[in-house]
Amino acid sequence: RRSSDGPVGPGGRAQGHWAVDGRACLSNARDVPMALTPVMATSFWVFRAKHPRASLRQWLGQSMQSPTAWASRLFFYNITAHFLKDFMQGLEPMLVAHHVFCIAILFLQAYVIVDGANSCLAGCAAFELGSAAYNLIKLYPGCESFVTIYVVVMTISNVLAVWCYWEWVKLPDHPKSVDVFATMVTL
């Protein structure tokens, strides 16, 4: 038995993030944002039910204050809590900076910029899928199949996230300073 984050505790449960004894399992709700990634798809379908002629681009430009954006708000609060929780587990300085930038851009998007919230959140969801693929190669370091899955999923994840970012930048009424800040977070 082994764990990606440290020793295995009583009952085979990892004292950190994952327990591996023939299979992986979630612990401490650490990967709930990745598990909630399908919520962003739900958000789109709720939007389309209310606006049947609306396009994907219109959904990406939607505000989180919209009544049909409840699933987007759920994902926003969950991903923000996920980032905040990570501070209690101790992070390397680069990850601290990454988390601070991510939290800042999420709050700017939710409460200052407003329009285009789904572009921002869908990009986060795409990045979380890439992170899940990364976890596979950390959990099973010698498995060549997972390396292939990681490369494919991470590439798709990054392309989707950059596309979401590009759709967000194309929205009107963004101060250029916010665009620069969002670029730093995305890269």
Neighbours of 112 (CB within 10 A): 9
13: left (phi over 0), alpha (psi -120 to 50) or beta: beta
What per-residue confidence (pLDDT) applies to 60?
87
Confidence band of 154 (pLDDT split at 50, 70, 90): very high
What per-residue confidence (pLDDT) applies to 153?
93
Q: For 116-135, write each residue's pLDDT tens digit.
A: 888 888 888 888 888 888 88
